[in-house]
A = this chain, B = another copy of it.
Amino acid sequence: MKDLVSRCPIEEVMQVLGGRWPTLLIYYLKDGTKRFSDLRRDNPTVSHRILTLELRKLEQAGIVERTVFDGYPLRVEYDLTPAGHTLMPLVDALGDWWEAHDAARPAAQTKTAAEAAAVS
């Protein structure tokens, strides 16, 4: 997903939210301020490099806010921005949609011409 192929805003959101981590990080941040190491502990399967990269991406997108405190043991806090908070219900809705249709998910088999004809 190096660059965009359309000017569609949806493609742009997906560029930020697509992938495994962004939505998960947003989820953890929903509960309130988290430090870098908190997020690492919440999700040990993400490498620190990717975590920083993803957080920067979300920061650039205006979804999370990064605050640096100088001082002895370096300290950086992450929070959802107001925009990030308005995004939450939309993402939740997607999750709910999935759950609803996952429960009702049937064979999902390709129809043959015969079956298609039988319907009409």
Contact = CB atoms under 8 A, between A and B. Distances in A.
Interface of A: 1, 4-6, 8-15, 17-20, 23-24, 27, 43, 45, 59-62, 65-71, 83, 86-87, 90-99, 101-102, 104-106, 108, 110-113, 116
A23 B10 contact: yes
A104 to B, nearest CB: 8
Contact of A67 (B8, B83, B97, B116): B116
Given A70-B113, A108-B62, A19 B1 contact: yes
| Copies of this chain per assembly | 2
Contacts of A61: 108
Given A67-B111, A68-B110, A111-B65, A6 B24 contact: yes
